[in-house]
A and B are shown apart, each in its own frame.
Chain A
């Protein structure tokens, strides 16, 4: 439930509504499980981490020129930050393995937010499709 006294919550709700009405969908953010402390096997590439896919939505593709961007609801991102204990959305997207969409794993190469009154209401993710 949003805080009605926060004017920027209106921007978040408006962005969510626009994303949903504009064909917004749910995508899967693929995250690597936390590393094991002092585990040489992982640091030497002998052991691979477990992965978890977490739902992120509503989100909508935005394609301009040759760049593929995904517009993601800030409310969904902030909910994930709280649940998974990440410091910021930047850290979340920088450490994510990628986005799993329709069977393809896209790499996140950049992220930035659109803000209203200093609070993000959507996140833009620049995606790189798999090469093969």
Chain B
């Protein structure tokens, strides 16, 4: 399950960075592409604007098959206040731009990628490919939510993978 989550994040981050290299965040003093996984970051009360914050929700296992299939929901939260120079009057357009970027990153085929094991990175080694793949659904957009001066949205993507023997 963890390998599927890691693989999906890496794929999404790469695609988003190619689509809009300008969308970056500064997190702990380092500039990086504007997408993060909340459970991998320090707890904070601040919701970073103008970036995609991924969180993982329900998962279900289907044991009918050669390998168990794991299905997970990935929520992408994002919000924007528009640009200060426009007094935030472009916040609707800014949110629409983020919608389009997410859709362009998630929806195009192939919506699949070889599953990778990133655990060796902790020891300074390279990630290793696994034998199965991760695949995902088209993105489903939630309604626009007004949060003070920001417009926010949560999009949902269903991510699936086979659970390989011995995998966490």
Contact surface of A with B, Cβ cutoff 8 Å: 32-38, 40-47, 49, 94-95, 97, 107-110, 128
Contacts and interface: CB of A to CB of B under 8 A. Distances in A.
A38 B30 CA distance: 9
B9 interface: yes
Contacts, number: 61
Contacts of A47: 121-122
B30 A34 contact: yes
A108 B6 contact: no
A45 B46 contact: no
Interface stretch (B34-42, B66-74, B97-105, B150-158): B34-42
A110 B44 CA distance: 11
A90 B46 CA distance: 11
Contacts of A43: 9, 13, 32, 36-37, 40
Contacts of A41: 118, 121-122
B43 interface: yes
Contact of A108 (B28, B36, B45): B45
B28 A95 contact: yes
Contact of B28 (A34, A38, A109, A128): A34
B124 to A, nearest CB: 8
A37 B9 CA distance: 17
Nearest to A31: B28
A41 B37 CA distance: 12
A40 B121 contact: yes
